[in-house]
Structure 1
Amino acid sequence: MRWYRDITSVEKRTLWSCFAGWALDGVDTQVFSLVIPSLLATWSISKGQAGLIGGATLVAGALGGLLAGILADRVGRVRALQITVIWFSLFTFLSAFAQSFDQLLALKTLQGIGFGGEWTAGAVLLSETMNPKHRGKAMGIVQSAWGFGWGGAVLLYMLVFSFVSPQWAWRVLFAIGLAPAVLVLYLRRNIVEPAREAQTARDDRGQRGVFSIAAGIFDPAVIRTTLVGALIGLGAHGGYHAITTWLPTYLKTERHLSVLGTGGYLAVVIVAFIVGCFVSAWLQDRIGRRWNVILFAVCCAVMVNIYTFLPVSDTTMLILSFPLGLFSAGIPATLGALFNELYPQGVRGTGVGFCYNFGRIASAGFPVLIGHMSSSMSLGAALGIDAGAAYGLVVIAALMLPETRGARMAASAQNGTVAEAPAASRS
């Protein structure tokens, strides 16, 4: 951790503020999956209705990421982060008072806009604050916060359900979701807005319109970056959703494995996610963004095919879940640094929000495609082909991008301010 001792106090405060925001996002989001059985019992809703809430939240999260990117370019990184944290905290808290399925669906959808937006705003803020030599490590560490938030949600669930009856416990957990709003007070007092480059500052004084900002990522100077970045987002999310949607069903119905629902399996997956983010954080500052993404994409494709085409016992599956979780975490842990380094400051938030969240929306087609393919072949074969194609798309798209490691977007903070520096050569 020598690198951590070398960064400034402003960089450290920004790092841990973004880490806290994403971890709290993880808590609020994962709590829902844990309380689904209580919701089914409390309101006698179907599993399909519960799935609709989860799906609506994810789609809203992607929309929120797009909007937050534009907002960050319009009003600043810190203010956008404050708005998104307040937004998801407020609607998580209000979800505790829902009196019907329709009310909860509406409130969770609105919450999703905030949690999707928080990642985009925080990623842009951190990327512009950190020293280029350590940007990848910082972004990877922040991505690992989701795993810590996931673990925190499990612990909170166990604690609250131990002392509160199930029909009220889920409301208590949602009410706790207001806690992240306290982070905004810290952000207002301690986090520095990255300096704007001269041209961006002049544009902002002219009060650039929302549509002008959004259209900027399709300017001839950056449209190739936008299209290729969107393909990476599509492949990365498509492979992830293919695995998380269908792999448990495949292992349970075709391989008849029983370990999936155990606490041991969940613990392995959470730890693997955190370790994967840390490994990716270290590697991307050493081998570069492109090769890091390619390495993890190839490893994910190999692991999925091992699961689907080789004999797997309960014990073997539990062991293999660690490298699978590790490799699947490595790609998103790289995308924050990669996407930020591809865009000029004036449209950086919009570009990052689009590349990451276009992929989240469009990737919904991958699990659907597996379902259709499984009618004419085994589910395992459909899963292996589909996930392999998704991660293959990541590899091809990454090869079409320049290497951005070391790109100087903002110099290290000095005396509480951040000075803009020239971009590095992108050979």
Structure 2
Amino acid sequence: MDVGLLSFIMPIVHKEWALTNSQTGLISSISTIGMICGGFFFGYLADRIGRKDTLMLSLLTFSIGNFVLAFAQGFDSFLIIRFFVGMGLGGELPVAATYVSDLYSGAKRSRMLILADSFWALGWLVASFLSFALNGILSWRGLLIVTAISAFFAIVVRKHVPEIKQPAKKEHHFTISKFLNFKTIMLWLAWFMVMFSYYGMFMWLPGIMTSKGNSVVDSFGYSVIIIVAQLPGYFTAAWLTKKINLRYIFAIYMVGTAIGAVLFGQAQTPVATVICGCILSFFNLGAYGTIIAITPSIYEPAIRGTMTGLAEGIGRIGAVIGPLLVGVLIDQKLGINAIFVIFMISLLVGAAAMLLIPVKKQAEVNEDQ
């Protein structure tokens, strides 16, 4: 919901403060940078002080941060506060995935992680309806205050979510180099390609379609339909965990995303745009949910939070580079078809990287535990 509302708030802030396009883009970039730092910091903290306490801290960080952000008086203060909001959000995602991973095992762990991630789409739906329903009543500041109400969920977490006790372990000094092996590099590459393609395509494709005269992509109904299409993508991926290994599911959905991207780029009519947009959304978010399920399962509990946070952080570097690269390529007059080829290659590279990850037999996701 937080990320979704930001996408609706940015154009309003852009107009109200007479920002340049570069300044408006920096708002999105600083949020992503904050999420990268938050993934690293809170992931590490989850392994040190526990998942529950870290989850509450990250939740309070971005909720209270949004409340303070509602009173920002200028661009500079907005950027600084938004960085900390991004930190909290970037920390919550891997810590929540780590908690669920600790709670379950085998195929049930995979299903629960994918289903938990499907609430990302529900958050986007809430953001869409809030923006549509309250835009004429509340200013962007009011919408941020509504988002800040999520801080009260920390009370629910504190009261009803138990801490998972980790087995006693020897004290050790964590160093990235200790775990920087082939498995981790391939996982990071897969994460990078998922986010590179997702943010590169979803930020630019609507603009490309609009430039072709296909105004349906600007409508509220289109946004809702595309978001709703994400849910069956998650659900079918969760169902497939009963049938095949998660790495194969991820590869299938990445290839499906590549096909969907090409179809979407070539769509000309409103009906074709909606159908192809749904295909793209279905496969891309299914792949995202699957890699969320894979990542914490690869590592032992003692380092699970840290490594999950690092993996998502590496992925978010791709989220920064993807949209920037597309903008540069368009300015250089590179054809849209050539840009789609780049996305296709990146998606296929991500699928191949995941398939190359060696997985121990006991960690296979089709265990009947």
1:250 equivalent to 2:220? Answer no
Is the Cα–Cα contact under 8 Å of residues 304 and 324 in structure 1 kept in the other structure? Answer: yes
Partner of 1:142: 116
CA distance in 2, matches of 1:182, 1:47: 35
Does 2:192 align with 1:229? no
Give the structure 1 partner of residue 320 of structure 2. Answer: 364
From 249, 252, 275, the counterpart of 1:292: 249
Aligned match for 2:292, one of 311, 315, 336: 336
C-alpha distance in 2 between matches for 1:392 and 1:118: 29
Kindly indicate whether residue 258 of structure 2 is the aligned counterpart of residue 301 of structure 1: yes
Matches within 5 A, 1:270-281: 270-281=227-238
Change (3 A) 1:39 1:401: same
Distance 1:260 1:227, change over 3 A: same
Q: Which residue of 2 aligns with 1:197?
A: 167
Q: Measure the CA separation in 2 of the matches of 1:58 and 1:75.
A: 25
Q: Aligned residue for 1:414?
A: none
Q: For structure 2, which runs of at least 5 residues remain unmatched after alignment?
A: none
Task: Give the 5 Å matches for 1:16-415.
Answer: 27-164=1-138, 169-199=139-169, 202-203=170-171, 212-213=173-174, 215=175, 217-219=176-178, 223-253=181-211, 255-308=212-265, 310=266, 312-374=268-330, 378-403=334-359, 407=363
Distance 1:376 1:50 in 2: 22
TM-superposed CA distance for 1:80, in Å, is 1.0
Q: CA RMSD in A?
A: 2.3
Percentage of matched positions with identical amino acids: 26
1:57/1:112 contact within 8 Å kept? yes
Q: Secondary structure at the match of 1:331?
A: helix
Structure 1 portions without partners, runs of 5+:
1-26, 410-423
Matched letter for residue 149 of structure 2? A
Q: Please give the per-residue CA displacement for 1:372-395, whole angstroms capped at 9, x wherever unaligned.
A: 444666432232111112111112
Is the 1:239–1:391 Cα contact (8 Å) retained in structure 2? yes
1:341–1:404 Cα contact (<8 Å) kept: no
1:110 shift after superposition = 1.1
What secondary structure does 2:363 align onto?
A: coil
Q: 1:244 & 1:251 partners in 2: Cα distance?
A: 11
The 3 A distance-change label for structure 1 pair 56 and 285 is: farther
CA contact (8 A) 2:226 2:274 kept: no
Measured after TM superposition, the shift of residue 95 of structure 1 is 0.6
Contact 1:366 1:386 in 2 (8 A): no
What is the rounded CA distance, in whole Å, between the counterparts of 1:50 and 1:257 in structure 2?
A: 25
Secondary structure of the equivalent of 1:402? coil
- How far is the alpha carbon of 1:266 from its aligned partner? 0.4
TM-score using structure 1 length: 0.80
Code of the aligned partner of 2:133: L
What is the deviation of 1:282?
Answer: 1.7
SS at match of 2:229: helix
- Residue 353 of structure 1: CA displacement? 1.1
Q: Using the alignment, how far apart are the partners of 2:319 and 2:141 within structure 1?
A: 32
- Give the TM-score, by structure 2 length: 0.92
Please state how far the C-alpha of 1:131 moved relative to its aligned partner.
Answer: 4.0
- Partner SS state of residue 198, structure 1: coil
Q: Deviations over 1:124-157 (max 9, x none)?
A: 0011102423112211111111111111112222
Q: Distance in 1 between matches of 2:85 and 2:253?
A: 31
- The one-letter code matched in structure 2 to 1:77 is R
- Provide Cα deviations, 1:74-128, integer angstroms capped at 9, x if missing partner: 1111111111001011101101111111111111111000001000110000111
Q: What number of residue pairs does the alignment pair up?
A: 367
